[in-house]
Structures are given as C-alpha cells and as structure tokens.
Structure 1
C-alpha cells in the first residue's frame, strides 16, 4: 500500500473540508435529498466571476470527492462558486429498483442546476463522462438556461465505439455477464463491495446503460427511438475535451456525441494526446489544462486554448 499517498489524500481532504460546506439539495419532481458539497470563493474576493455558479457532474462510479481538487482550484484561484454532488443511490448498499439514469439526469442533476439558478443567473455545467451525457436527458427548460458547457471525456457509449483493448472484455463482462448474478446475491450492483473499485449503485442504472450501449444512437426510449429533446434544447457554447489515450472510447465516440448538439451556438472540440479518461481532474497532472479550461468557464473563450504546439 502507498501509505504516503494515503496520508497526502487525507491531508487534502481535511483542507478541502475547511474551505467547503456539505448540504442536501432537493431533486426535481420527488425532492429526493441530493448530497452535495459547495466551494465558495474567499470572503475578500471581488470579481465578476462571483456571479457564476459552476456545477460539476460526476462520471459513473465516481464520488464527488474525486472532483474536490478542481473545485477548490476554481473557487480559491478564480473566485468561482462551485458545487459537486452525488447521484441518488450511489454507495448505498441496499436495493433501489426504481433508480434509472433518467432519475440521475431529470431529477438529481436538474435539481442541483435549478438550485444554482436560484442563486445566480450564470450557471456553467462541467460534465465528466456520464456527467456530460446528462444533457441528452435533462429537461429542455434546464438545458436552455445554462450559460456554457464543458464536456470532459463524454462520449456515445455504443459498444462498437469502444476501444478494442483489454478494457473492452472487462466492460462487457461487467455490463452483461456478472450483472444479474451480483444483483441476485446483493440486491444492488456491488462494484465497490466485490471489486474494490468505483461505487456501489442500483442495478437498474447498469441495466439501462447496458441496453443503451447496444444502440448506435445510445440514448433511446423503451421502443428504441432516439431521445432528441435534450440535444435539441442546448443552445449555449460547448467545449468538449477528450484524450487520445482514453482507456475506453475512440475518437469517433467523442465526436459523434458532441455533434448531436446541433442547436448549440458554438461547439469546439479539443482532442489532446494525454489524459486518459480520468486524469484531467487530478491536480498533479492537469494544472496547465485547468489554467486554460478556466478561460472558457469564466468567459467562454476557446481561441488558442489547448494548442499542443505552444
């Protein structure tokens, strides 16, 4: 075990707690309590950035603590209000049959974004992987009000758009082979309990994702028809960042997803050489990327950002 790494993470968590506060936010429709952490700018700060609320939506299998370094950077270095949150049913070790990805989007994510709109008019949404996929499912009246969207490693997860590497058979095994036996044993999807990775979550989340991954359009209703209202309701600028060494998805998977936002006022895609699927949010690897991404988050700038030849 890397004891030094454990100590460093513990110290960082303590420091983060001092500069943040935990709250619960009611979801839309059913007012389910969503666990969230808010990072506020220093009290002495005064900037136009103070009028911007940044929402970070997590990838499948992540917890909101994973995004604390980036949230802390945005709040302390750039005077932004930042909120991270967990979807319902994650790391809850009990059956929750009713939970679907649509609940995460149309209730949980929508509830958090609505909460931020009550505070400030400008809300910037940062979606990591599944967090970016939320826009395909969010209610149109939510999508229409967002000021800017930053997508990090968000893709169309159709199986044929996955990379055919060692991660591919593992993904198929988890989605289609072991899912139901694990549910029969535990009553939920115990990815953390059994494999010591990710977070435990409701089985229906994985069932729905497994079904979508069989469709080229990915986001489809129960009849197999593509869900288009979410894509069509996004009008704001989008910056999509993805990486050539992503462990799971091909460049095609990223491009197809972003092109579906055909009503956006401006879509910019940055394909970068190194960053994997998760490393953007790790401070020791991505500080330079953060410094550039914040130009889009605060001002909507995309020109000359992430130029690998600079």
Structure 2
C-alpha cells in the first residue's frame, strides 16, 4: 500500500482517450457496480491478452490511462482500469474493508475479464498488488501473469524514516479518527487536496496492518495465507531504490510470500519512486521493457538498468 499521497500532485486526468469506453462491472458476491474504463486495441484478435490494472490507495483509475493507452495502442492489448467501491463518494459505504475491495471488487473485474478473454494479466500498483494476498484462490489460479509495481508489506518498521514516514504516522494514528468522525469518511481529497476521499474502514484496517509485521491479518490477528498459496503464475516485481516511502526489505518481504509461483523475478531499479512508473514522460523506456513480460513472461533484466 502507499501512503496517502499528501505530498503528491493531484491525480492526472485526461479529457480525451481514444478507443476507450466506461462500463460498470458487477462485483462478486453482491454485484455492486464497479466503474471501469476499457481500452480496446485498433485490431483486436481472438487470442489477445487482457491487462487488468488495480490501483494504489488514494489513486483513481485515470492516473493509469497513459499506461493503459500505451498497451492498447502500441501493443494491441485489451486493458481494463477500475475504481474500488467508495472511492471519492464522500459517504459511508457498506462492505468497505480492504478484503472487500479484493474479494468483491478486484475479483469481480478479474472474473469478468477471465470469462471474456483467453489470457488475463494483472498489473497491481502498491495496494493493487496486495490484492493477490486476499483474492479468492479460484481467481488467483487463473491469472496468466502478474506484474507487481511498488507492491509492498506496509509494516511501519519497513518504511524509510523520513518526512513521509512522519506524515504517514500522523495521518494514520493522530488525524484519522477525528477526521473520520467529523466527515463520516476519510477526507484525503477534501482536507489535504491530494489523492481521493475513501471509506473510513479502509484507513482503519490499513493502520492496523501497518502495526503488524505480517501485515495481512484478519481482526483476530490470523494471517491471510490462501492468496499467497494460490498464485502460481509467473510474477515480475518492479520497485525502485528512490521510493519515497518503503525500503527494499518491504518489497522483498511481500514478494517472497508467493511460494507457489512458477517464476518470481524482481527488478529493483534505481529511479522511479512510488508513482512515477505510470507517468509516460518518465517511464516510456521502461514500459518498452516491461511489456515483454506482460506479453511473453520474459523477465530478463532491462537494458536500461545499466545506464
């Protein structure tokens, strides 16, 4: 997961995206309508790969549009971006724990795509990568490949001890409850003018996880294990030495839990921060390398790592 983006610039919005459409995809279990944007390639083929992008905490799907459009237009891939329930709604939302985002929202989008396309590749950014720890085994087992971008164990002691760490602690353990009780939701956008407003229980659960070395635990402290055991596809984990929030230990601790994966590779690259991978001007060269994994499961280290 990522810190609340208080020091980040506002999320990128794009007024016109070619070959895209907005649809509602039913969540698993309760069929809650998940708002998604679908990018269709110009020349779709029956065996084309579908890429599902799951967002970080405090982000919206529009932030991922440049990467989605690149995959669709340059590499003939179907791409789906979506928002978790309760994002930016500014009101209490039922079923609003992180595991509901995983087991209902993310699972619903992945299930929809698995039914429609021959292959589904999941790209999880930060919290989006954490989804695999919580997804139903029946979904995890069907994913063809998984790209983890800055996906981490969010235990506080794995954070870098810097200004961002102080802001994280303040937002999670000092400001959280007064703000949630006053507004009825966590007002990241309303108060801090960054990220998005979100359900209170998302932040409460995140704060509890950040105090636990295992991170992904239920209310009784029992570790979620099914997701880690059921993801068997190739995994490429991409993270960056200049990440604003987390140490390399945080990334490695998370990635190594996927014991059943047929192939796990990590690219720990020098520059990219926690968010910049999805910004076209900064990462286009890296996108050209990552797409080899998305399409062919090629995990060879990128040539740019030596530059």
TM-score class, shorter: over 0.9
* Aligned partners of 2:93 and 2:199 also within 8 Å: yes
The 3-state SS of whatever aligns with 1:14 is coil
2:25 match: 25
Aligned match of 1:148 in 138, 145, 161? 145
Q: Output one character per residue of 1:111-145: Cα deviation in whole Å (capped at 9) or x when no partner.
A: 00000011112100000000000000000000000
Structure 1 residue 303: Cα displacement: 1.8
Q: Secondary structure at the match of 1:37?
A: strand
Alignment check: 8 A CA contact 1:97 1:203 kept:
no
Distance 1:307 1:197 in 2: 32
1:2-41 paired onto structure 2 within 5 Å: 13-16=14-17, 18-41=18-41
Distance in 2 (alpha carbons) for counterparts of 1:245 and 1:89: 31
1:183-222 alignment runs, 5 A limit: 183-222=180-219
- Aligned pairs for 1:69-84 (under 5 A) are 69-84=66-81
8 Å Cα contact 1:151-1:238 kept in structure 2: yes
1:87-126 pair list within 5 angstroms: 87-96=84-93, 98-126=95-123
The equivalent of 2:4 in structure 1 is none
Does the Cα contact within 8 Å between 1:289 and 1:306 map onto a contact in 2? no
CA-CA distance at 1:94 after TM superposition = 1.0
1:96: how far off?
Answer: 2.1
User: CA 1:224 to 1:46, structure 2 compared with 1: closer, same or farther past 3 Å?
Assistant: closer
**Matched residue, 2:269:** 272
Q: Distance in 2 between matches of 1:209 and 1:29?
A: 23
- Give me the whole-angstrom Cα distance separating, in 1, the residues matched to 2:91 and 2:15: 29
Contact 1:28 1:106 in 2 (8 A): yes
Question: What do residues 35-70 of structure 1 show as CA deviations (whole Å, max 9, x unaligned)?
Answer: 00000001xx2668x521100000000000000000
1:304 CA drift (Å)? 3.6
CA distance in 1, matches of 2:95, 2:122: 26
Q: Equivalents in 1 of 2:199, 2:254: separation in Å? A: 25
Structure 1 residue 309: Cα displacement: 1.7
Comparing both structures, which one devotes a greater share of its residues to helix?
1
TM-score (norm 2): 0.94
SS at 1:270 equivalent: strand
Equivalent residue number for residue 294 of structure 1:
291
Runs of 4+ in 1 over 6 A off after TM superposition: none
Residue 137 (1) aligns with residue 138 (2): no
**Which protein has greater RCO, CA pairs closer than 8 Å, 6+ apart?**
2
Aligned residues: 298
Q: CA deviation at 1:307?
A: 5.1
Structure 1 residues 249 and 38: CA distance shift in structure 2, 3 A:
same
Query: What are the ranges of 5 or more consecutive residues in structure 1 without an aligned counterpart?
Result: none
Confirm or deny: 8 A CA contact 1:131 1:154 kept in the other structure.
Answer: yes
Counterpart Cα distance in 2 of 1:277 and 1:203: 23
Distance 2:157 2:44 in 1: 49
TM-score, normalised by the number of residues in structure 1: 0.93
Q: Displacement, 1:14? A: 3.1
- Would the alpha carbon gap of residues 291 and 215 (structure 1) be closer, same or farther in structure 2, given more than 3 Å must change? same
Deviation at 1:225, TM superposition (A): 1.6
The 3-state SS of whatever aligns with 2:15 is helix
Q: CA deviation at 1:186?
A: 0.5
Distance 1:46 1:232 in 2: 34
Give the counterpart of 2:175 among 168, 174, 178: 178
